[in-house]
Amino acid sequence: MSPPPSGRDPAGSALTVAAAVRAGERRAADVVEEHLARISAGDDEIHAFNEVMADEARAAARAVDAIVAGGGDPGPLAGVPVALKDNLCTRGVPTTCSSRILAGWRPPYDATVVERVVASGAVPIGKTNLDEFAMGSSTENSAFGPTRNPFDVERVPGGSSGGSAAAVAAGFAPLALGSDTGGSIRQPAALCGVVGVKPTYGMVSRYGLVAFASSLDQIGPFAASVGDAAALLEVIAGHDSRDSTSIPRPAPSLLAGLGEGVDGLRVGVVSELMADGIAADVASRVREAADALSAAGAKVDEVSVPATVYGLSAYYLIAPAEASSNLARFDGVRYGLRVDAPTTNEMMVATRTEGFGAEVKRRIMLGTYALSAGYYDAYYGKAQRVRTLITRDFAAAYERFDVLLAPTSPTTAFRLGDKTEDPLAMYLNDVCTIPSNLAGDPAMSVPFGTGADGLPVGVQLLAPALGEAVMFRAAAVLEASAPPGPERPAAWFPAHAAVEGTRP
């Protein structure tokens, strides 16, 4: 892989680092030490990581350097540090899902995406914080405390993959992996000013991802640039026989087409996602993004996707119902936390009471209720019918348009604690991202300037199933035409700022 022909490619980008390591111009060991130094300097305040894999990263970097020294090619992401969301199984490394109930668990195997990251020559550098079991929109539901936004440490980084988004935004790793069930990659990417991608459902294997809602979960990349995100998605995508929902086709070619532009592309601005509830400064940036695509030759118009207005309601029945089933396995018997009690039933109750946090308990109870006798058809069954309507409405929109445009998050990053006492207010943060999870279609967030408060704004591109190549072409155009991003405060981690290759 080589740097893309268009879009930003900072000196510390993944593609630049990998090219230098593969050519023998830089040592992977030095790259890893630089990033470990940044983490040491800054992560006490940000808390992007639950576990820093310093020893493992150093050993992996030495192995990459040995391959280069022997005249071999370690792979397309040689020597690039990658942060892993802490719900991705990593062999021999604590994998907690930011929950007390998985205390002490070290998986005996790697998730498929972890295997593919290592096979590409990249170096896993740590496990990132998240909302417990990926249930949240702010990374405040973690058993290990919240992650903070690198651009304002009094604000949230978004969630549930807030640790991964913050790690890339802070320069702790050029790349990160997250999971997206209702917006958990795209929403934190928007709030932290980085690129975040939810691929087509089934494009990336879920083997080794600790499940939240199996029909919605999808793994995807975070990166500082569109090109870097494309490179990581090319690495992790493709069929996996160990995942029954994996699409039987190879990984897409994305980097090669980034410079093709959008001339003649049909772009629809989703009217329902620009309605009440979207902050004026965010809506303004979306309109500017539409203008930028138009100026680049795209044909831009408004489009209605009517059923998206029901997305939030349907999601908060379907996702908790699946969570209720998936989390039943955490019982104190096989692994993780065990709270002893006189009987087996009492032990299970005590373990789950102690091990699960408030939001996880809320969603388990909601899902169990929706699946219970007498309520299944009225709630879960009806939500699935709404999901079908959403899928059909998107399909109709894609008959007229190649990609769609919308906000990623209704607002910029909000303050820590602002919404923790009001679950509905928190859930509304995902109103723009949930519909594409229900439909199974790809979507991504691209940084596009700042809001009135000077914090990052992300705009969302949506595409039909397996439409990633066209979606990335449009993203490259938006990236190249984006207004300036937020300025990091001058006092922000002076030791970090002195490290060569820090993202500007």
Give Dmax (Cα) for the chain.
71
For residue 419, give Cα distances in angstroms to 81, 444, 454, 458. Answer: 33, 25, 21, 20
Q: How far apart are CA 269 and CA 257, in angstroms?
A: 23
14-310+384-488 in CATH: which number? Answer: 3.90.1300.10
Q: How far apart are CA 11 and CA 15, in angstroms?
A: 9
Question: Would you tell me the crossing angle of helices 54-69 and 14-22 to the nearest 10 degrees?
Answer: 50
For residue 178, give Cα distances in angstroms to 60, 183, 209. Answer: 21, 10, 10
For residue 157, give Cα distances in angstroms to 16, 121, 163, 281, 297. Answer: 26, 28, 8, 18, 34
Per-residue pLDDT of the chain (504 residues), as tens digits, is 433 333 344 557 999 999 999 999 999 999 999 999 999 999 999 999 999 999 999 999 999 999 999 999 999 999 999 999 999 999 999 999 999 999 889 999 999 999 999 999 999 999 999 999 999 999 999 999 999 999 999 999 999 999 999 999 999 999 999 999 999 999 999 999 999 999 999 999 999 999 999 999 999 999 999 999 999 999 999 999 999 999 999 999 999 999 999 999 999 999 999 998 999 999 999 999 999 999 999 999 999 999 999 999 999 999 999 999 999 999 999 888 999 999 999 999 999 999 999 999 999 999 999 999 888 989 999 999 999 999 999 999 999 999 999 999 999 999 999 999 999 899 999 999 999 999 999 999 999 999 999 999 999 999 999 999 999 999 999 999 999 998 764 434 433 444 443 333
First to last CA, the chain: 23
H helix count then E strand count, the chain: 16, 11
Tokens linked to 118: 């290592």
Q: How far apart are CA 354 and CA 404, in angstroms?
A: 44
State residue 373's pLDDT score.
Answer: 85
State residue 10's pLDDT score.
Answer: 52
* Residue 53: other Cβ atoms inside 10 A: 23
* Residue 146: other Cβ atoms inside 10 A: 22
Cis peptide before 160 (omega within 30 of 0): yes
Tokens linked to 319: 């996702």
Tokens linked to 296: 């680049």
State residue 5's pLDDT score.
Answer: 35
Tokens linked to 312: 């939030």
State residue 456's pLDDT score.
Answer: 98
Show which residues are catalytic.
85, 160, 184
- Mind spelling out the 3-state secondary structure of 400-444? HCCEEEEECCCCCCCECCCCCCCHHHHHHHHCCCHHHHHHCCCEE
For every residue of 254-277, DSSP letters joined together read -GGGGGG--TT-EEEEEGGGGSTT
